Structure 1
Amino acid sequence: MKPATLNAELDVRTGGRYRISFVSDDGEYFEAGGTYREVVPNELLVFSWAWHSTPERESLVTISFKPDSAGTLMIFHHAQFFDEAARDNHQRGWSSFLDKLDAFVA
């Protein structure tokens, strides 16, 4: 089974909020959300990230987009984790997502 987005509500503007829900490869339900702190079209997204189950463990995602000879280079940075286990779990999750995104746009 592939992860499936069940719902995505996005208000992509500085101060706007988002909430997404999805099911993982093993069938586990997840819901996350946050606030866009900075939005520069075609250049930068900065937003808070927190799981619905642990809203007090907010972290920060920064995604930069830069022109590249082959198209666009995306630089992804997720920081301010609650602990090393959270960091490692997010690394696995984002790596899986980014691999799928790479395959989709290839």
Structure 2
Amino acid sequence: MKIFITLDDDGFANGWSSTATEGNTAEMDLPEDHAFFRNMSAHKFQDGNMVFDAEREAQVIAAQQALNEIPTDKEKITKLHAQVKAANDYTDFLEEVIVEMAQVVYK
């Protein structure tokens, strides 16, 4: 399968197309079951070949896991609602304490 692979500044693949594009690209003829198609960003163009880089794969996996740990907007809103409720409950408690203290002081 003839493809055109776009490369980042370090020579790692960051996209591919069946048509030529401008910029830093490499033309390759890869079989459809090549490992490149399962994990494109862990492959580097070296000496006319796409070479798998295990260290890069680990970096990509770590970055993806970090993204997965970022809370969604819904999770953020739920947490904020809980914080607002806790602040309101604490404010109500302080108001009750002030009222009780005033009753003791002004009896």
TM-score (ref. length: structure 2): 0.29
Structure with more relative contact order (C-alpha pairs < 8 Å, separation 6 or more): 2
TM-score (ref. length: structure 1): 0.29
Of structures 1 and 2, the larger Rg is shown by 2
The structure with the greater share of residues assigned to helix is: 2
